[in-house]
Chain A
Amino acid sequence: MTEATQTGQLMEVPKGVSLWQDAATRLRKNKLAMFGLVFLIFIILLCLITPWIAPYGYEEQNLRLGATSPSAAHWLGTDIFGRDMLTRILYGGRVSLFVGFIATAVALVIGVTYGAIAGYAGGRTDSIMMRFVDILYAMPFMIFIVLLMVVFGRNILLLFLAIGAVEWLTMARIVRGQIQNLKHQEFVEAAVSIGLSSFAIVWKHLIPNALGPVIVYTTLTIPSVMLLEAFLSFLGLGIQPPSSSWGLLISNGVESMEEYPWLLIFPGLALTLTLFALNFLGDGLRDALDPRSSGD
């Protein structure tokens, strides 16, 4: 494309529709996925600019006020220390989303590299590498993460590493399967037979075609990572006060849910809606990028 658009002669020729554009069109038609995308962008933007827009300070207590239900001054009410819930949810969202994106990025980098190497190398290297993944798969990781948190204290960096270490396995399998599959496609053989270098084959022919499932799986990994973080925080093994995350807010909310149900419901809603949005977007991307559905 880049070369083609430079020259004058090609300017008059009608443009084709690439598979990516095709997928984008399909995604745009998927209402749920688009809702997910818009909602997600909205939440991410809100969390990014939280320090400038939050109506109150994050630690700003008002003990005299105590817990109040939603009002004009505090849209989502206040907690037992009189702290503004909207502010706390926004700050909590920063942490939850941050963990979600960073841990997924860790999983993505490890998983794609590992899977691509195994898939492209094939043969013995591949079977040894994948056997290792199989063994790790059999490990009860949830229990290990709890253990790690207990043993090494509740360290956010460790949390990334631990969650990333679990989630990269599936990514590696997906990428490896994709590469294995593509390697035997005739267009890759054709690239070999015109004399292209291995690097060019991987870069121009394999990666663009393996990207779809990776994007989909990445989108679906973020919610599962966020769930994991919330789960640990709820048990008191994840994020520690004074920092906050949605899981921690929910955990606090549970303690006083009889008297002040909004302290549970609003952070719960924030987490659930974000997970919804991510899952819908992931499903939509899968439908849009799946080559099987592009036939009709």
Chain B
Amino acid sequence: MWRFIGWRFAQSIPVILAVITITFFLVRLAPGGPFSSEKAVSPQVQAALEAQYNLDQSMPQQYISYLADLARGDFGPSFKFPGRSVNELIFSGLPITAELGFYAMLVAVFIGGLAGVIASLKPNTMQDYGPMGLAMVGICMPSFLLGPLLVLVFGIWLDWLPVSGWGSSSGDKILPSITLGAMYAGYIARLSRSGMLEVMSQDYLRTARAKGLPEYLVITKHALRGGLLPVITYLGPAFAGLLSGSFVVETVFQIPGLGRFYVQAAFNRDYTMILGTTTFLATLIIFFNLLSDVLAAWLNPRLRYQFKKKT
């Protein structure tokens, strides 16, 4: 098992490196320097600024020194927020985005998983069509539409819940979490339904019934594990989706999280901030992909056994 983790881990290092490199050079290739929007900067000031941000060095030199800084965990200073480092900005946004992501994931896994399992128990009846219809709505209604609609209905018309913010008034976490999680709840519902249906047709469930097990045990003990395995594998990609989804949701609900910083940095051409957040988010996504792969492998006794035997 450790060998498997180590192997997958080693595999993701070149990917992270590639991400950093591509991002770095893409950003440098961009037309229009970071200070071009500010009018009429004297050449001396320009030079001083460029020196401060290492822009006077050659591209490879900049790249090397950036990598060296990264290795020390230093994302460098922000272009647009003078005096603040990218680290500070990332770590001020991260807890909020992490919390939002966590709640959204809860919504996705629990509501989605439950809906899928319930639907799979009686396929092609109302018990199936109901949850699956809702799942389809979740998939077809993008967060930037669902969010505003929820705000409109529950925030403005009914006035039940706050329309923006995070942690500043009670209940303001509910709408963003649902908005972000809804689409993934839809996907997970569909995945767990088809996974369960697949398992339900397996011979070993017939064996379980033939032993005289009551139906609830047949499902919880024999069917769930295999049926929900595809969901586990999906958690990694879902996490990546949640992160990019947070760009929109944090914008809609005006939440000061990482996603909003990223979008702002993108508009401001805040090079170090873009670079820093991209690297950070990419690493996070790759790490979570790794985690869900390892989890899926661990839940599959056959894979676990193969790797145990090799070590």
Decide whether A and B are members of one complex: yes
Which A residues have a C-beta under 8 Å from some C-beta of B?
135, 138-140, 142-144, 146-153, 223, 227, 230-231, 234-237, 247, 250-251, 253-254, 257-258, 261, 264-265, 268, 271-272, 275-276, 279-280
Checking B19, B29, B140, B152 against A257 with a beta-carbon cut-off of 8 angstroms, the contacting residue is: B152
Chain A contacts for B26, CB-based, 8 A? 147-148, 151
C-alpha spacing A248/B23, complex, angstroms: 27
Checking A140, A251, A253, A265 against B282 with a beta-carbon cut-off of 8 angstroms, the contacting residue is: A140
C-alpha spacing A69/B89, complex, angstroms: 43
Closest to B148 in A: A254
Could you tell me if A268 and B240 are in contact, using CB atoms closer than 8 angstroms? no
Could you tell me if A231 and B142 are in contact, using CB atoms closer than 8 angstroms? yes
Q: List 19 A-B contacts (CB under 8 A).
A: A140-B240, A140-B244, A142-B241, A142-B243, A142-B244, A143-B243, A143-B281, A143-B285, A146-B244, A151-B30, A153-B31, A231-B142, A231-B144, A234-B142, A235-B247, A237-B266, A250-B144, A258-B156, A271-B142
What 0/1 pattern do residues 4 to 28 of B give for CB contact below 8 A with A? Answer: 0000000010110011001100110
* Given A227-B142, A235-B248, 14 extra CB contacts under 8 A: A140-B243, A142-B243, A143-B285, A144-B22, A150-B30, A150-B267, A151-B27, A250-B144, A251-B144, A254-B148, A254-B252, A264-B148, A275-B140, A279-B139
Is B269 part of the binding interface, using a Cβ–Cβ cutoff of 8 Å? yes
Chain A contacts for B269, CB-based, 8 A? 150
CB of B124 to closest CB in A, whole Å:
11
Interface centre among A135, A147, A148, A268 (most CB of B within 10 A): A147
Which B residues have a C-beta under 8 Å from some C-beta of A?
12, 14-15, 18-19, 22-23, 26-27, 29-31, 136-137, 139-142, 144-145, 148-149, 151-152, 156, 240-241, 243-244, 247-248, 251-252, 262-263, 266-267, 269, 274, 278, 281-282, 285-286, 289
> A235 and B251 in contact (CB under 8 A), knowing A143-B282, A251-B144, A276-B136?
yes
Could you tell me if B282 and A271 are in contact, using CB atoms closer than 8 angstroms? no
Checking A146, A234, A261, A280 against B266 with a beta-carbon cut-off of 8 angstroms, the contacting residue is: A146
Could you tell me if B148 and A257 are in contact, using CB atoms closer than 8 angstroms? yes
> A264 and B152 in contact (CB under 8 A), knowing A140-B240, A231-B142, A275-B140?
yes
Closest to B147 in A: A254
CB of A163 to closest CB in B, whole Å:
13
Chain A contacts for B145, CB-based, 8 A? 250, 264, 268, 271-272
